Amino acid sequence: MTATIRVSAPGKVILFGEHAVVHGKLGIATSIDKRAYVTVSGGNEEVTIESKNLNLKKSLLEEELLVLRNEIEKLKAKKDFEGIKEMGKDKLMPSFFVVAKLTEKFGFHGLNVYIDSEIPKNLGSSSSVFSAIVLGVSTLLEKELSKEDISKIANEGDVVAHGGPPSGIDASTVTYGGYLKYQKNKGIEPLDINFKIPLLIIDSEEPAGTDKTVPYINKLKEEKPSFVEGVLDRLDEISHSGFDAMNRGNLEDMGRLMTDYYWELRKLNISTAKLDEIVQIALGNYALGAKPTGGWGGGCCIVLTKDKEQEKKLLTAFKKSGFRAFQTRLGLEGVRIEKRI
């Protein structure tokens, strides 16, 4: 068995489809050039997980890991997502659950897992960690998993992190990399995008709200089914049109549709004053389009620009308004082994 494995997985942005994709609609996403790094090595009689970003470290014995796995599986079976959400308040629990699912598959092994991520929240930061853990642990144990298997196990971590059943688009995107279409009932379809999409990411510096917005929309759908279904259907139409625009390489149509998506999903009251301000700054400076990405309720926005000159102007405008904005490359490689030591 190799002594140490260092693995990474990219972050992601959802270009079209967030929240609607949870309800079976079309989602279009792509990986970005910021990555989460996970270093895995053999341990003694326990699993130790340490996160540099969270400044947390915790160890569980085999029996404790088994209890954790059984408790979460029981809550999943009962669809007690509030209970899962409560467990997920311990920020290392989702990663331990991912390791527990691997233990179920490969047997218990003492492990040391060290997490160091450069991905801002709401850009697939949790999924990328889980995907990297799966590849790192399986490689350390000399077990081969397909990308489909990796994304499925990584998605189990998102169930705990989000306090509810995620769509699977995050785990798929960070695992496979590149551009992809995703639908719950159809799975993934890689896309061949051969033109540059000039995209800026702007961080609201508000905590990502996925664990609140997903359950909120589920509840709203129960209370106002026709209203929410109408919004979701319109979002799906916009996503299909966005896919069409991407196939034609038409940035102007893409941008307009991104902004349409923002206005439509905003009807479900999951935006924030800061996210709205970011969109208004972008449109006020003639960006092609803008919208929050991911779970909304905080996190980041994406802004589509015409060219590099406009990128620079927008970066200056966001900086003057106190926002952290950065350029990103899209369509990067998915989860991968960085080093064997």
Residue 4 confidence (pLDDT) above 90? yes
pLDDT band at 2; cut points 50, 70, 90: low
| pTM across the whole model | 0.92
Task: Classify residue 206 as exposed, middle or buried by CB count within 10 Å of its CB (0-12, 13-18, 19+).
Answer: middle
Q: What is the pLDDT of residue 233?
A: 97
- Tokens 């930061």 belong to 125
DSSP secondary-structure letter at 177? B
Q: What is the pLDDT of residues 78-99, one digit of tens each?
A: 989 889 888 888 999 999 999 9
Q: How far apart are CA 44 and CA 51, in angstroms?
A: 19
The mean pLDDT of 199-226, rounded to a whole number, is: 89
Element spanning 248, H or E: helix 225-248
Instruction: Please state the rounded mean pLDDT for residues 261-273.
Output: 96
User: Do 123 and 175 contact (CB within 8 A), yes or no?
Assistant: no
Of 299, 294, 296, 245, whose CA–CA distance to 267 is shortest? 296
What is the reported pLDDT for 198? 94
Judged against a pLDDT cut of 70, whether residue 235 lies above it is answered with yes
Percent of the residues in the chain that have a pLDDT greater than 70, as a whole number? 99
Q: Give mean pLDDT, residues 57-63.
A: 96
For 92-145, the pLDDT digits (tens) are: 999 999 999 999 999 999 999 999 999 988 899 999 999 999 999 999 999 999
d(CA 25, CA 163) in angstroms, rounded, equals 20
Residue 17: predicted pLDDT: 96
Three-state secondary-structure class, residue 115: strand
Residue 43: per-residue pLDDT = 83
Structural domains in the chain, sorted by start: 4-191+332-340 (3.30.230.10), 199-328 (3.30.70.890)
Q: Residue holding tokens 């050039």?
A: 33
> Rounded mean pLDDT of the chain?
94
Go through 269-280 and write b for each residue having 16 or more CB atoms within 10 A of its CB, e for each that does not.
ebbbebbebbbe
State how far the Cα of 151 lies from the Cα of 175, in Å rounded to an integer. Answer: 6
Range of weakest confidence among 42-46, 198-202, 290-294: 42-46
